[in-house]
Amino acid sequence: MFQRDKLRIEGYAVVSDDDCIANADGNMPDSLKNDAEWKFFQAGLDAADVSVLGRRSHDATPNHATRKRLILTRSVRDVVRDGLIVLWNPQTCGILSALDAFDMPVSHLAVAGGRDIFDFFLTGEVRFTAFHLSRVRGVTLRGGTGVFSGVNRGQAAEAILEDAGYQPGPLRVLDEGVDVVSWTPAT
């Protein structure tokens, strides 16, 4: 079994100018989609052993790349394995037991959201070792889903990350009007 503090946990989010990952209908709009950002995100997922998603994001995104997925849901008590998918309820068992359900050692997770899953790894017992915050400039999603729940209470994503003890790396331009900043735990 792998030690919890040895897990590499990288979060990936793409947000609007007002720090939203989805619009007021709860869907990710085309205005947030960008080829260069998609490539960056997919490379992150490819580099990890397992992708981690909330049940709604799992339902919304077909698993074309046949990646192993750890899905957070309150609909199960025990860990349930179904092919590439493991359903996990963190209220009833720890992450290492959930990862044991995969038929291989798992040391690197790519967390793809949504909001409550980003919250979970932001401040919980198992935290991000890096959070990659991509932004598409010029898009606002009034009434949308914030990248963290604090956004929907009026806080900026950067302030939430700082308050949670992360520090920003340099801004990297992915495309015209699209950039990413990688946040890591402050030392």
Q: Where along the sequence are the contacts to ligand NAP (CB under 6 A)?
A: 13-14, 21-22, 26-28, 32, 53-57, 60, 72-75, 89-90, 112-117, 120, 145
Three-state DSSP class for residue 114: coil
Q: Which C-beta is closer to ligand NAP: that of 105 or that of 123?
A: 123
**Nearest-approach distance from CB 56 to ligand NAP, in angstroms:** 3
Instruction: Give the whole-angstrom CA distance, residue 129 versus residue 121.
Output: 9
**Nearest-approach distance from CB 134 to ligand NAP, in angstroms:** 7
Residue-wise DSSP of 12-65: EEEE-TT-EEE-TTSS--GGG--HHHHHHHHHHHHHSSEEEEEHHHHHHS--TT
Q: Which C-beta is closer to ligand NAP: that of 68 or that of 146?
A: 146
**Nearest-approach distance from CB 136 to ligand NAP, in angstroms:** 9
Q: Which C-beta is closer to ligand NAP: that of 105 or that of 124?
A: 124
Q: Which C-beta is closer to ligand NAP: that of 93 or that of 159?
A: 93
**Nearest-approach distance from CB 105 to ligand NAP, in angstroms:** 24
Q: Which C-beta is closer to ligand NAP: that of 106 or that of 111?
A: 111
Count of CB atoms within 10 A of residue 100's CB? 17
Say if residues 34 and 16 touch (Cβ distance below 8 Å). Answer: no
Tokens describing residue 100: 């044991």
Three-state DSSP class for residue 5: helix
**Nearest-approach distance from CB 160 to ligand NAP, in angstroms:** 15
